[in-house]
Structure 1
Amino acid sequence: MEQQIIYEQDVANAVCVLIAKEARAMPDDVEVELGYDDETGFTAEAELNGQMHYLDTMRLVEALRLWIDQYLDLDPMAAGIQLKLDDEEGIIALIR
């Protein structure tokens, strides 16, 4: 598989899709803030109906696998996912 890049907005969209699916809500109702810390790694905070959801790196990868399955029409379990903090693009995911 050729390497693909999922840019920051779509990483956030992936979180919206995952949280909405779990809560049986619409992805547009979810607000997401992505973050990176040297100690904790990649994280996301998602708010839905006043309730906060905190995602660690593993849950971000889970969200990206759902995104890959639904929007890229690729095998999400065969995809290698690497999160990266890019100086220009922000938080991106490299898919191999």
Structure 2
Amino acid sequence: MRIYTDEIINAVCLHIADRRGVKPTDVEVQLAWEEQYGFTAEIWVQGRSQHLIESNLLEAIEQYMFREYNRRVFRSNITLDADDEEIYADIRD
């Protein structure tokens, strides 16, 4: 299974909203890939920004898959990748 940028952003919004006790619509997310750091995200909640590393993104996707698809996946089964247009996650069974 593969999920794309929009779903990854949704996963991060839901994950951060749960942790911070805010609505998912109160969370803004910008995904990035950098040679030095790999996959990252910058999030904004209530005017404050925070940087997430790849393991945080994998945790959010793991929880999203369970919540939205009722599928238990482990981080070791999730691979983040990017092409010229977007970031995506391949999820193995």
Q: Which runs of 5+ in 1 are unaligned?
A: none
Look up the SS of the partner of 1:61 in the other structure: helix
Distance 1:87 1:78, change over 3 A: closer
Structure with bigger helix share is 2
Aligned to 1:31: 28
> What do the CA deviations read for 1:39-80 (whole angstroms, capped 9, x no partner)?
100000110101112110010001101111101110133871
Over aligned residues, Cα RMSD in angstroms? 1.4
1:94 paired with 2:90, answer: yes
Number of residue equivalences: 92
Mapping of 1:65-80 within 5 angstroms?
A: 65-77=62-74, 80=77
Give me the TM-score of the superposition, normalised by structure 1. Answer: 0.90
Structure 1 runs (4+) deviating above 4 angstroms are none
Mapping of 1:11-30 within 5 angstroms?
A: 11-30=8-27
Matched residue type, 1:81: I
% identity of equivalent residues: 36
Mapping of 1:52-71 within 5 angstroms?
A: 52-71=49-68
